[in-house]
Amino acid sequence: MARILVINPNCSHACSAGIDAAIAPFRFPGGPMLEVATLAEGPPAIYSWRDWHAVVEPICRLISRASADAYVIACASDPGIEAARATTDRPVFGVFRSAIAAAVARAERFGVIAIVEASKARHRLALRAMGLEDRLAAEVALNVTMDELLDPDLARTRLIEAGRSLASAGAGAIVLGCTGMAHHRAAIAEAAGVPVIEPCQAGVLVAIGAIEG
């Protein structure tokens, strides 16, 4: 059976559980095994460039020792994706890039909800690399912790407000800019009235297509 390893580059097992729940619908008979790995060396969340750089080598080491048919880096800053791709001859996908690809397939302009203000620079770098920065309608940062995001109710009102703000700014689709937002996706979509893309789902779907195609 083919195996896709989804790597959570932070050390939060609660976040990994949310990722696992988000991708659960894509486990089907005869399909690839989807496994979520938590990076023990990672920070509680990827808040800063320092966090981003700190997890690159541990991600590469994990890929080197964990055999899989494809790898998905489950952080919406896609940390270390270039280094990870140089570590293996298997495909490596970043969930942010995958989600953006899904967004532009659905709408001319898209919006992003970031966990903190510092995330915006990392998202912009990825968008420039994809040649899609000019299709960003707006990005809203919540400036909350991972623990707040993972609470079923604590951040939901602010996420809904962010989704509505992005839709008002012209976003025809919204990308959740942190894997901790997965369990809020449906509520944001209902409130904003536009498709909301959960990045881990987008990354896993691309990975499945790559190895099953």
Residue 152 scores a pLDDT above 80: no
- Pairwise CA distance, residues 1 & 126, whole Å: 32
Report the percentage of the chain scoring pLDDT > 70. Answer: 100
> Could you tell me the residue ranges of all domains in the chain?
3-94+201-212, 96-199
At residue 213, the pLDDT reads 63
In this predicted structure, what is the pLDDT of residue 132?
A: 97
Q: Tell me the per-residue pLDDT of 99-148, one tens digit each, with 9 for 90 and over.
A: 999 999 999 999 999 999 999 999 999 999 999 999 999 999 999 988 88
92, 63 contact by CB (below 8 A)? yes
Q: What is the phi/psi pair of residue 37, to 5°?
A: -115, 135
CATH number, span 3-94+201-212: 3.40.50.12500
Q: How confident is the model at residue 153 (pLDDT cuts 50, 70, 90)?
A: confident
Cα–Cα distance, 66 to 163 (Å, whole number): 37
Tens of pLDDT, residue by residue over 155-194, are: 899 999 999 999 999 999 999 998 889 889 999 999 999 9
CB 76 within 8 A of CB 201: no
Strand partners, 103: none
Domains 3-94+201-212 and 96-199 share a fold: yes
How confident is residue 87, by pLDDT bands cut at 50, 70 and 90? Answer: very high
pLDDT above 90 for 25: yes
Question: If pLDDT is split at 50, 70 and 90, which confidence band does 151 have?
Answer: confident
The separation between the first and the last C-alpha atoms of the chain, rounded to the nearest angstrom, is: 15
Report residue 149's pLDDT band, with 50, 70 and 90 as the boundaries: confident
| pTM of the shown model | 0.93
**Percent of the chain topping pLDDT 90:** 88
Residue the block writes with tokens 């989807």: 34
Question: What is the edge-to-edge ordering of all strands in the sheet holding 196-197?
Answer: 136-141, 110-114, 173-177, 196-197
Sequence-distant (6+) residues with CB within 8 A of 9 are 39, 42, 46, 55, 58, 59, 73, 74, 75, 79, 80
Tell me the two tokens of residue 169. 């700014």
**What integer is the mean pLDDT of 84-88?**
97
State residue 173's pLDDT score.
Answer: 98
DSSP 28: -
- CATH number at 96-199: 3.40.50.1860
Considering the chain, what is the average pLDDT of its residues?
94
Averaged pLDDT, 10-35: 93
Q: Would you report the helix, strand and coil content of the chain in percent, each value rounded to 5?
A: 50, 15, 30
**Residue 114 Rama label (left phi>0; alpha psi -120 to 50; beta):** beta
Determine contact, residues 160/138, Cβ cutoff 8 Å. Answer: no
